[in-house]
Amino acid sequence: MGMGTSTFVIRWINFLTMLLALFVLGFGLWMSTHHDACRKTLTLPVLGLGGLIFVISIAGFLGALKRSVVLLWIYLIMLFIILIGILAFTVMAFIVTNNGSGHSVPGLRYKEYRLKDYHAWFLKQLNNTHNWKHLKSCLVKSEDCSNLSKNYKTLQLYKKAKLTPIESGCCRPPSECGYPAINASNYDLSYHPVSANRDCKLYQNSGDVKCYNCDSCKAGVAQYMKTEWRVVAVFNLILFVVLSMIYFVGCCARRNASRSCSKA
């Protein structure tokens, strides 16, 4: 690739990524003013990502503009580190999301989930008392369980519903408990549970309790995380290919800048 072409491509690519970085930083600042504690936990990672993208883009843009070998080297080293990080995370994501799936329940459209089916990494994170206390507070605030009675007015509609993993695991007791459903939000707990599953005794009809302390709820969250991580892993794979192409162009620009300096 010629010197003019490679430096031109690097300049414009990094100019566009600078604009993207400013957008990410603005989004992070917006999140920092949000009153939802669950969203606030993402503020620092988002701001850090935006700042990192901005610094790398500046180095690449100025390096290509001034044909500075030093700046282009800094740009390529940082980009290489990011490529390694993306690759490592993508491989990890595919490994930890390889296990776990829902179990069909006769007469119901939705599935139930068992914590033991998922990867040990998920189990370690979800069984951590501090982590789960924070996640549970977010689940309660999300009002997924309280909205069930609004979405499904009758018991017949509720039984035919296709609940999400979190709704299935956190908002109701496991079917093996044998509690009859009164409506979408309440179960008749006067019945003696058929199963010895500890989740049967942990479930309460109260909106603040439900099955948020149950292993079935943790399994529902694990299934949700598995689905989300798979999407992120696929996105990262595409991003890795794109950044690898940009890295190749950057290498050409750095080599051409070195030749230009040696001739000067």
- Name the residue type at position 100: G
Q: What is the pLDDT of residues 191-215, one digit of tens each?
A: 989 899 999 999 999 989 999 999 9
Report the DSSP beta bridge partners of residue 112. 103
- In the numeric block, the tokens 């999300």 are attached to 142
3-state secondary structure 31-88: HHCCCCHHHHCCHHHHHHHHHHHHHHHHHHHHHHHHCCHHHHHHHHHHHHHHHHHHHH
Read off the pTM: 0.79
Per-domain boundaries in the chain: 3-98+230-262, 103-221
pLDDT per residue over 49-105, tens digit each? 788 888 888 888 888 788 778 888 888 888 898 889 889 989 998 998 888 888 988
